[in-house]
Structure 1
Amino acid sequence: MASLVIRTGRAELDFSGIRTEFGLPLEFPPAALAEAEQAVSRAPGDREDATDLPLVTIDPPGAKDLDQALAVERRPGGRFRVHYAIADVGAFVVPGGALDAEVRKRGQTLYLPDGNVPLHPTVLSEGAASLLPTQTRPAVLWTFDCGADGEPESVRVRRAMVRSTAQFDYEGVQATIDAGTMHPSIEALPDFGRLRRERALDRGAVELQLPEQEIAPDGEGWKLVLRPRVEVDAWNAEISLLTGMSAAKVMLDARVGILRTLPDADEGAVEALKRSALALHVPWADGVSPAKLLAGLDPSRPESLALFVDATRLLRGAGYTAFNGTVPEIATHAGIASSYAHVTAPLRRLVDRFATEVCLAVTEGREVPEWLLKALPELPSLMGGSDSLASKVDRACLDQVEAWVMEDRVGSEFDAVVLRSEGNGADVFVPEPPVMGRCSGEDLPEGERVRVRLVQADAARRKVAFERV
């Protein structure tokens, strides 16, 4: 799907109102900053020297908080070896210190169009702890030896020193794939990524290919963009998922840790999705799982978009589950169709540091430290609160830019796709400019293309509304 850009033409517009509304912190406490500065000069301790691995990073353009670096090797017999280095935040944050207390309050990095609210001070998150190219950094290094089917045969995790050799972005890597000029460190990523995607579908993992709205600055104000979906996104994500599933297994085997969990959808949700598919004239053969049905849809089709929205009912109830001594009753993530833990983004998400420290203690044959055992029960609430805040801030920023973009176009007509009909109206998606809003009117069947008129674009209330023409 091509990028679409609409400019506001008003450079003075910013997001300070959203920062104030949600009480977002403007700076770190002096004691936390002092600890971060001190941590930069602290020796990383004894660890494996893995600086010879030709690791690379793949992130959005301009990113500086680089959590992961990877290298994928081919091995005899169609097998693979995957090295995945994760920023070792545990090497910098002292448990129980001022910085630890502050990041527990924050929970995760919040991304606003006019600047981030980072989880850690930038001297760490964009400096000494980030896996920036050509810089030697402490990391937690996972190595997976996988069979020709993409499944891991052995997993190793340890602390190491690493050096990323290059920083790439998704579209740039996709361009090299299309041109057949991939960097040697990720030349095998497409083949391995496809294998892992096949295994995901076999498990029943659900992927919803919904349009991704993004906000970006330009010389005049802000623009709305539909982020192009490229294959390398999915392949890179599969490496992270492999790591998270392996970490979950380590913790479940040891009966201590914290998982990202999602209960299985009940039969009623699946039956409702089948009724939606029937109404949208999407064929659903007997024996085909929801995961395989959704994976086979063309995301550019209006009926596909509507069914993806309806399929969100399969993914309700996500949370974090801490445990110590007993395996929890719900120990899997239904969307991934496996047990899973967050361990691959510790610069940007609080829980990853703690889950990683559990994995390191268990695999090294050490007792899990008391400070860590004490922290585990607190993490589900901390992460739940920060997840909720991040979702609200993201939505508020999108709503704000949608209103800015559309405020001079009230009365104009647009083509739209009906996503979900509820009550006397429906949620609709306007592809150009890429805006989602509520539309009033009757006869708004899901998955249909309709003509709508913009009747409201209120920047103060961050609200956009349409009516059926």
Structure 2
Amino acid sequence: MPPWRRGSRAEGVRPARLRPLDFAAVRAEFDVPTDFPAEVLAEADRVAADPPLPEHDATDLPLVTIDPPGARDLDQAMHLARTDGGYRVSYAIADVGAFVPLGSAIDAEARRRGQTVYCPDGRTPLHPPQLSEGAASLLPGELRPAALWTIDLDAEGEVTAVDLRRARVRSRAQLDYASVGADVPPELELLPEIGRLLQARARDRGAIELGTPSQEVEAGPDGGWTVVFRGQSDVEDWNAQISLLTGRCAARLMLDGGVGVLRTLPPADPGAIAALRRLAPGWASTGRTAPPPARSSPGWTPRSPGMPPSSTPRRRCCAARPTPPSTAPRRPSRGTAASAGPTPTSPRRCAGWSTGSAPRSAWPWPPAGSPRRSCGRRCPSCPR
């Protein structure tokens, strides 16, 4: 497993070093708000001192949170249980809206900010810290208002029943991804089982998980900043599946009720589909209009990244990009004469192309009937 998949810096590879940046200047350039007005902080103190609690009591649920180490804005907690016919997912989402009266000073400031803005040297929160990291956060041992989802699944991971209500909850523990990955607590012993089921159902729906690493900017010892790559752990993937499950149930409730705002994606551009089919003749020959379910070949798992990060050594022979249509004369290869005429639009990838950690395609390469051509260079890994 490449080091960046384990969430660490690649051994033997110098991380990309950036020039020292003044993120305060970046925030000022984009008019990111800084301090909260005094009247907003005063109102937050008043609301936090007497938090509104729903009538429904769900404090008997042994909920736990999973977040990065040291996090204080805990907005989701879960409990997983087995039922006679499948599973029950209890998912509590911090009810921050209960602390923000419509038209209040906190509401006006939140609308002005729009979202929490994250920078390498800190974050600019949407709500005052007294709420986001205090009275509204699902901190362990504290009584909190929440939107409580109860989702029943069958043995195959399909949704059979959904219930949503405001409730008072109390989290039992604050966990992080690394600790859960090393030793799964009793409250989450079903997380691997349910997480894998949900991943399988997602593949059945044609969902695609590229598994690319996240890029994070960290402070260096010399006062500068360093870009590092971090791959997601299994626990993060399973936790994300629980969150996606809740989001799908919420979307279904809104669609059935004809209320709410849903974010959707427009249909793909026909030109993009045509380009994709030129790059994937095997897929195009099936006549599919949507991506096929994920398939794997020996030595590759669906979580493998589609491409290693730029800091991971790669061996590449020829450009993998397709050659755009052109009527200009082609640049002659070494030892060949120039020839005029349109440039083929089929992919230009040498048969010797390889990469140490990229997954092998489920479709044969090169596609049947496509011409092979050399790039004209003698790459170290290429016999041509």
Question: Shared fold by TM > 0.5?
Answer: yes
Is the aligned partner of 1:109 residue 2:116? yes
Is the aligned partner of 1:144 residue 2:151? yes
CA contact (8 A) 1:11 1:219 kept: no
CA contact (8 A) 1:208 1:294 kept: no
Cα distance between partner residues in 1 of 2:195 and 2:62: 19
Amino acid paired to 1:135:
E
Report the alpha carbon displacement of residue 277 of structure 1 after superposing the two structures with TM: 3.8
Is the aligned partner of 1:290 residue 2:291? yes
Per-residue CA deviation, residues 176-234 of structure 1 (Å, 9 max, x unaligned), is: 2xxxxx11111101111111111111122233322211122354443322112212222
Report the alpha carbon displacement of residue 276 of structure 1 after superposing the two structures with TM: 2.5
Per-residue CA deviation, residues 434-466 of structure 1 (Å, 9 max, x unaligned), is: xxxxxxxxx99698769xxxxxxxxxxxxxxxx
Cα distance between partner residues in 2 of 1:419 and 1:165: 51
Aligned to 1:264: 267
Aligned to 2:336: none
Q: Which of these two proteins has the greater Rg computed from alpha carbons?
A: 2
Unaligned runs of 5+ in 2: 325-346, 357-378
Per-residue CA deviation, residues 336-383 of structure 1 (Å, 9 max, x unaligned), is: xxxxxxxxxxxxxxxxxxxxxxxxxxxxxxxxxxxxxxxxxxxxxxxx
Aligned to 2:206: 204
Q: Secondary structure at the match of 1:143?
A: strand
Q: Which structure dedicates a bigger proportion of its chain to helix?
A: 1
1:174 to 153, 169, 181: 181
Q: Pick closer, same or farther for the CA change 1:165–1:301 going to 2, 3 Å.
A: closer
Cα distance between partner residues in 2 of 1:300 and 1:148: 23
Q: Pick closer, same or farther for the CA change 1:95–1:448 going to 2, 3 Å.
A: farther
Cα distance between partner residues in 1 of 2:261 and 2:172: 32
Is the aligned partner of 1:58 residue 2:61? no
Q: Which structure dedicates a bigger proportion of its chain to strand?
A: 1
1:232 to 232, 235, 242: 235
Cα distance between partner residues in 2 of 1:203 and 1:299: 15
Report the alpha carbon displacement of residue 132 of structure 1 after superposing the two structures with TM: 1.4
Cα distance between partner residues in 2 of 1:217 and 1:154: 47
Report the alpha carbon displacement of residue 422 of structure 1 after superposing the two structures with TM: 9.1
Cα distance between partner residues in 2 of 1:104 and 1:86: 20
2:196 to 190, 194, 197: 194
Per-residue CA deviation, residues 268-318 of structure 1 (Å, 9 max, x unaligned), is: 43442233345xxx988847752524887668988x329xx9xxxxxxxxx
Aligned to 2:250: 247
Q: Percent identity?
A: 49
Report the alpha carbon displacement of residue 98 of structure 1 after superposing the two structures with TM: 1.4
Report the alpha carbon displacement of residue 33 of structure 1 after superposing the two structures with TM: 1.7
Cα distance between partner residues in 2 of 1:246 and 1:92: 25
Is the aligned partner of 1:273 residue 2:281? no
Q: Secondary structure at the match of 1:245?
A: helix
Question: Normalized against structure 2, the TM-score is what?
Answer: 0.72
Report the alpha carbon displacement of residue 118 of structure 1 after superposing the two structures with TM: 0.6
Cα distance between partner residues in 1 of 2:220 and 2:140: 27
Cα distance between partner residues in 1 of 2:109 and 2:296: 41
CA-atom RMSD in angstroms: 3.7
Cα distance between partner residues in 2 of 1:263 and 1:9: 38
Report the alpha carbon displacement of residue 146 of structure 1 after superposing the two structures with TM: 1.2
Question: Normalized against structure 1, the TM-score is what?
Answer: 0.60
Cα distance between partner residues in 2 of 1:284 and 1:200: 22
Is the aligned partner of 1:20 residue 2:25? no
Amino acid paired to 2:9:
L
Aligned to 2:9: 4
Is the aligned partner of 1:31 residue 2:39? yes
Cα distance between partner residues in 1 of 2:182 and 2:284: 34
Amino acid paired to 1:213:
Q
Q: Secondary structure at the match of 2:69?
A: coil
Q: Pick closer, same or farther for the CA change 1:421–1:121 going to 2, 3 Å.
A: farther
CA contact (8 A) 2:146 2:166 kept: yes
CA contact (8 A) 2:131 2:137 kept: yes
CA contact (8 A) 1:11 1:220 kept: no
Cα distance between partner residues in 1 of 2:177 and 2:199: 18
Give the aligned length. Answer: 320
Amino acid paired to 1:201:
R
Aligned to 1:100: 107
Cα distance between partner residues in 1 of 2:348 and 2:42: 58
Report the alpha carbon displacement of residue 94 of structure 1 after superposing the two structures with TM: 0.8
Unaligned runs of 5+ in 1: 177-181, 310-401, 407-413, 424-442, 451-467
List aligned pairs for 1:398-409, cutoff 5 A. none
CA contact (8 A) 1:14 1:114 kept: no
Cα distance between partner residues in 1 of 2:70 and 2:348: 41
Q: Pick closer, same or farther for the CA change 1:19–1:266 going to 2, 3 Å.
A: closer
Amino acid paired to 1:276:
L
Q: Pick closer, same or farther for the CA change 1:12–1:191 going to 2, 3 Å.
A: same
Q: Secondary structure at the match of 1:124?
A: helix
1:124 to 125, 128, 131: 131
Cα distance between partner residues in 2 of 1:284 and 1:74: 42
Report the alpha carbon displacement of residue 87 of structure 1 after superposing the two structures with TM: 0.4
Q: Pick closer, same or farther for the CA change 1:96–1:7 going to 2, 3 Å.
A: same
